[in-house]
Amino acid sequence: MSFFELFILAIGLAMDAFAVSICKGLTLKKADLSSMSKCGLWFGGFQAMMPLIGFFLGSLFAAAIESVDHWVAFVLLLLIGANMLKEAFTCEECCSEKNADFSVKTMFTMAVATSIDAMAVGISLAMAGGVNIFLAILLIGVVTCVLSALGVKLGSVFGGRFEKKAQIAGGVILILIGTKILLEHLGVLKF
């Protein structure tokens, strides 16, 4: 995968954390550097760690499923993207809990919840092959950190206008990347 493709993937993965960060920002009268940093570091850290775990798990099984690895990557990304789209149109509980709790327990739970899909993407990256995983996790972590910090600020200033759009964009990006991986392996696309 090229740098640009990894960057777009990082943006897609960051959208869940961005949407949750907007919700956290809604609970604040004014977003300060501390709350922005907490969200950024928690979400960015977990979004970087989970694909690495997924990549190593996927690498363990890559030889066993090499003949269908492109289908595995496609299905995982399709399911994650579809789930993000479903949540964007049906989920309202994210912002319904209006508390400004930035405790370790709360942030850990939210960071894990928003990064589970990143582990599946890590498995997909192992199946896709030819991916610099360290560049991928660096981009995913930094992009998520920045967008999460920005999400807190946007949430405190603009409210919930961006939450649904962020989830929709993230879902569409992941589905498109999965489709591209499949089409490249089937020989339909050549890059």
Contact 178, 74 (CB under 8 A): yes
Least trusted range by pLDDT, from 10-14, 61-65, 149-153: 61-65
pLDDT in tens, 145-190: 999 999 999 888 875 566 677 768 777 877 887 788 788 778 887 7
Name the DSSP class of 68. G
Where helices occur in the chain by DSSP H, the ranges are: 3-26, 33-62, 69-90, 93-96, 104-128, 133-158, 163-185
pLDDT in tens, 73-128: 778 778 877 877 787 777 555 554 445 677 888 888 888 877 877 888 888 888 77
pTM assigned to the model: 0.71
- The domain ranges of the chain are 3-94+101-185
Give how far the C-alpha of residue 143 lies from the chain's centroid of Cα atoms, to the nearest Å.
10
